[in-house]
Amino acid sequence: MINHHQYIFDVGCKTGLMSDEATYKLNGHIATITYNRPESLNAINGAMRECLNAAWLEFYNDPEAWVAILTGAGRAFCAGADLRPGQGNSAGTWSGSYFEIPTINSFESGLELWKPTIAAVNGACIGYGLTGAIATDFLLASDRAVFGMPEVKVGVPTIVGSMRIPSKVAWADAMEILLTGDNIDAHRAADIGLAWRVVPHDELLDEAYALAERLCQGAPLAVRAVKEVATRSQRMGWNEAIRMGESIRRIVGTSEDALEGIEAFREKRAPSWKGR
């Protein structure tokens, strides 16, 4: 059963600026990470990058956090990188040389996270925002949402977006988004498979939380194992994938939750998951 305690976590940004550029809230086993610069349409600057990274690491490490919802404060989800002078490095801390590879230090850039994630896209979802949204397992879009990768229009390439979007949609649809830099609306995004579902704007968070509750009904270690196998096996041969999957199944099969699941099934009752 889900324990509906709630707390707000101070993600502990060390910029010396406000520490609420992104917020982390845990309600039962459901974490909500919110882009929180509504006055700037939640564009990511250096301070927000530090807060976002801290929030995702808190979710990664917290045994009580089983599912995460990513959303935006105000009328935008995330308008991409804040390109105004003095806003810091939205990509994170690295030297910045074009010829160096930045650390994979953020959710958008490939943090390996096997807990389920949901994007509740409430408005403009642009650039970095779209890269983050498509890194989740489920992209729920408000009927007011718009999506785009405008980087080519400001003279720079999008890299992670260029890697991810072709795996989500047909090639020509991916190239339309990446090479024109034009925005598409929520219904077009759903038609091509970029968004999973479009819901009325006022119902967006309710739908996201309802889905998160459903995802919490499964044993959390088993859920993470399934996601990891589903992800890793896409890049492996069949035999290697089977060997990996069976190894993971044996490990998870010795957990307390696996024993609880069998007992609950035999006793015809709802299981009480512990996440261990």
Give tens-digit pLDDT for 169-198. Answer: 999 999 999 999 999 999 999 999 999 999
Q: Biggest alpha carbon distance in the chain? A: 63
- The answer to the question of residue 147 being in a domain is yes
- Domain count of the chain? 2
Whether 86 has a pLDDT exceeding 90, the answer reads: no
For residue 10, name the pLDDT band (cuts at 50, 70, 90): very low
Whether 216 has a pLDDT exceeding 60, the answer reads: yes
Residue 44 has what DSSP assignment?
A: B
- Tell me which of 215, 236, 256 is where a domain ends: 215
The pTM of this model reads 0.88
Handedness of CA 266, 267, 273, 276 (dihedral sign): negative
Based on the fold, state whether residues 201 and 179 are members of the same structural domain.
yes
Q: How far apart are the first and last CA of the chain?
A: 15
Based on the fold, state whether residues 228 and 151 are members of the same structural domain.
no
Per the model's pLDDT, the better-predicted residue between 53 and 85 turns out to be 53
Based on the fold, state whether residues 194 and 148 are members of the same structural domain.
yes
- The answer to the question of residue 168 being in a domain is yes
Based on the fold, state whether residues 195 and 229 are members of the same structural domain.
no
Whether 211 has a pLDDT exceeding 60, the answer reads: yes
- The answer to the question of residue 184 being in a domain is yes
- The answer to the question of residue 275 being in a domain is no
Based on the fold, state whether residues 69 and 206 are members of the same structural domain.
yes
Q: Which of 118, 117, 49, 44 is nearest to 78 (CA)?
A: 44
For residue 85, name the pLDDT band (cuts at 50, 70, 90): low
Q: Which two tokens stand for residue 3?
A: 């324990």
Based on the fold, state whether residues 156 and 246 are members of the same structural domain.
no
- The answer to the question of residue 276 being in a domain is no
Q: State the CB neighbour count (10 A cutoff) for residue 174.
A: 20
What residues pair up with 24 in beta bridges, in sequence order? 9, 33
Based on the fold, state whether residues 129 and 19 are members of the same structural domain.
yes
Based on the fold, state whether residues 263 and 157 are members of the same structural domain.
no
Task: Identify the domain containing residue 146 by its residue range.
Answer: 6-215
Helix 171-180, helix 160-168: angle, nearest 10: 150
Return the C-alpha torsion angle 74, 75, 77, 82, nearest 10.
Answer: -80
Based on the fold, state whether residues 35 and 153 are members of the same structural domain.
yes
- The answer to the question of residue 201 being in a domain is yes
Based on the fold, state whether residues 126 and 262 are members of the same structural domain.
no
Per the model's pLDDT, the better-predicted residue between 13 and 186 turns out to be 186
Based on the fold, state whether residues 188 and 261 are members of the same structural domain.
no
| CATH classification at residue 44 | 3.90.226.10
pLDDT of residue 106: 86
Q: How far apart are CA 138 and CA 45, in angstroms?
A: 25
- The answer to the question of residue 274 being in a domain is no
- Residue 191: is it exposed, middle or buried by C-beta count within 10 angstroms (0-12/13-18/19+)? middle
pLDDT of residue 166: 96
b (16+ CB within 10 A) / e for 95-133: eeeeeeebeebbbbbeeebbbbbbbbbbbbbbbbbbbbb
Cα angle 245-60-256, degrees, rounded to a multiple of 5: 55
